[in-house]
Amino acid sequence: MSETTNRSLLLHGVTKSYETATGAPKTVLDGIDLRVEPGELVVLLGANGSGKSTTLKIASGMIPPSTGDVRIGQTDITRMRGETRRQSRMKLGMVFQDARLIRRRSVLSNVLCGTLGRHQNIATMLGFLPRSERPLAMSCLDRVGLGALAGQRASTLSGGQAQRVSVARALAQKPSVILADEPVASLDPESAEEVMTLLATVARNERLAVLCVLHQIDLARRHATRLVGLKKGHILFDLPPSAVNDAMIATLYTRDAA
């Protein structure tokens, strides 16, 4: 079986509707078809309420779609339950807007937390981290350029460093896919550039499928393999950055006439 078959992310026919206070359904996503291949950094763009975050939550398994399915390789993860679902979600590494580090613990310990899904035992339930995973965790820190900070407390890190540690923690899961939800929203421009460069490098060098929600258009254009524009739950375009012009971007953020 090919690498593409094993490690791609596919959303097929995904819709999501919620019941409103009046009882009428509100459709947030309507027929989303999206594929991210190993080595790609695909960025979702769109105004607030366009469906970006909902798409990412469905891809991660945080919420189920109303219809459609999500696949990692050949595995449909949409309706899995129990242990099978937990094991499948280990294939998904998450990077959030807030790095979500345990501030009192060392950088290395935070990366080791990414391995806990493989170690469901009494020791880890009591808060102990698997020593056998320390070489892997150090390797992940080296890959994001922070091996020298392994023993430092997470509370001492800058925002950009904390996000790079969160990427290392995701890598420690040994994922096939990384999902990043506005990973640079709270960072200064220099740190944001570093984190997006890192995500693009991780996609390319680690041969991972990376799907990212961004609001920063310039960053998306510089680092993405493809830009996917969402508006009112529909994909308006799915193209390489060089094929997306300013007018197409403006359409995403322009209110339609009533």
CATH number, domain at 40?
Answer: 3.40.50.300
pLDDT, position 52: 95
- Give residue 258's pLDDT: 47
When divided into structural domains, the chain yields a total of 1
Look at residue 85 in the predicted model and tell me its pLDDT.
Answer: 56
Give the pLDDT confidence score for residue 109 in this predicted structure. 94
Query: Is the residue at 108 inside a domain?
Result: yes
pLDDT of res. 159: 95
Q: Which pLDDT value is given to residue 124?
A: 54
SS3 for the chain is CCHHHHHCEEEEEEEEEEECCCCCEEEEEEEEEEEECCCCEEEEECCCCCCHHHHHHHHHCCCCCCEEEEEECCEECCCCCHHHHHHHHCCEEEECCCCCCCCCCEHHHHHHHHHHHHCCCHHHHCCCCCHHHHHHHHHHHHHCCCHHHCCCEHHHCCHHHHHHHHHHHHHHCCCCEEEEECCCCCCCHHHHHHHHHHHHHHHHHHCCEEEEECCCHHHHHHHCCEEEEEECCEEEEEECHHHCCHHHHHHHHCCCCC
Give domain status of residue 76, yes or no: yes
- Tens of pLDDT along the chain (258 residues) come to 445 457 899 999 999 998 877 777 889 999 999 999 999 999 999 999 999 999 999 999 889 999 999 999 888 888 766 555 556 667 899 999 999 999 999 999 999 998 887 667 565 555 657 688 899 999 999 999 999 999 999 999 999 999 999 999 999 999 999 999 999 999 999 999 999 999 999 999 999 999 999 999 999 999 999 999 999 999 999 999 999 999 999 999 988 644
The answer to whether residue 258 is domain-embedded is: no
Asked whether residue 135 is assigned to any structural domain, the reply reads: yes
Range of the domain at 137: 3-253
Per the domain annotation, does 78 fall within a domain?
yes
Tell me whether residue 131 is in a domain. Answer: yes
pLDDT at 23: 74
